[in-house]
Amino acid sequence: MIKILKYGEVKNEEIFARTEPLANVEGVVSQIIENVRKNGDKALFEYCEKFDKARLSSLAVDENEIEEAVNSVEPEFIRILQRAAENIKKFHEKQKRNSFIINDENGIVMGQKVIPVDRAGLYVPGGTAAYPSTVLMDSIPAKIAGVKEVVMVTPPNARGKVNPVILAAAYVAGVDKIYKVGGAQAIAALAYGTESVPKVDKIVGPGNAFVAEAKKQVFGRVSIDMIAGPSEILIVADGKTNPRYAAADLLSQAEHDKMASAVLVTDSEELAFAVQSELEKQIPLLERAEIARASIDNNGKIIVAENLSAAIDIANEIAPEHLELCVDSPFDYLDGIRHAGSVFMGRNCPEALGDYLAGPNHTLPTSGTAKFSSPLSVDDFVKKTQYTYYTKDALADVSQDVAYFAKKEGLTAHAKSALIRTGEDHE
């Protein structure tokens, strides 16, 4: 049963405690990465047979497989994928950055170019659940950014097939290449390249502890989006909130993973007990009841705060991945939210809207990292290059200042490089 804690009556350590993953996979992942780096496709085929129980003749998913998958999926699901894709495009189009140029001083031009990465890699899980939504959320921003090639990796089943809903989403999103490889070995393949899998510049997408550790280890050779932890939801709710709705929303994240975190913060003790009771009614009805039960019992909590202002302060300290504001006039509270991955406003906006259809990205910072990081966006798939141009006269106006600054740092060659062009390097 979920625990109820009164803020101010229990230690803050208990209020703000996070469940830390126990898996220690650093050494295993390091070995996998090194094997893939040295042996390429051979290692990938071996890991596929070992972990996925599939003996493949090719790692690549061909057009016939994609067509077969799309035709096997219900037309209604294709329609929903397309609707979701349009919403995601509409939202992320607003994130596009423009290059700029400054030339308001004689002889000086400065600017910044916004350039997409050449190739992005998308990891899509294929274990306990298949997430076609992740395909849309992670590939569409890359396409909007102008990435030339989006490469997707995802594990096959024992028959060597990729889940058809994953391939249907990749088709709708316009993914360029797809490979049947999962786990840490997939991340290694994207980072180093193999005979089949091309090396990418950026790797995005969620995964298990092995995938997260692999992303951490290859960072620096390639860019990554984030090190994602278990799913999180925090609901700030007043006493008018329907406890059935609040319980259902908490369980929408609890069913993801036994390590997931579901938290309710409310100013109503009555609501706290009502939600606690409602969770006990709803959990047994879930297909993933065992997972949800473990999440709620071990990581879930209901925090009773003195008022909604205090509830907002608690939410900011926790900095959740998903934050629901189940209150009247939610926009009155939005400015007070400083740390959250994505905010769902009002009583009719379940977090599931954000997972699938609304448009804002669902790849979000977890484990409190919303205090300093952001949701996946078009920005993740671009880089900036700046440039500077000075005429000789413009340089002459500042060369002495440049040289003076350089000498303060003890870098006399820097100083000379500015002075030599204007004839001021007196030797």
Active site residues: 321-322
- Main-chain dihedrals φ then ψ at residue 51, nearest 5 degrees: -95, -35
Angle between helices 209-218 and 183-192 (to 10 degrees): 20
Residue 426 CA, distance from chain mean position: 56
Residue 164 near residue 65 (C-beta atoms within 8 A): no
Q: How far apart are the first and last CA of the chain?
A: 81
**Partners of 311 in beta bridges:** none
340 closest CA partner among 279, 274, 265, 268: 265
**Partners of 177 in beta bridges:** 151
Sign of CA dihedral 327, 255, 293, 369: negative
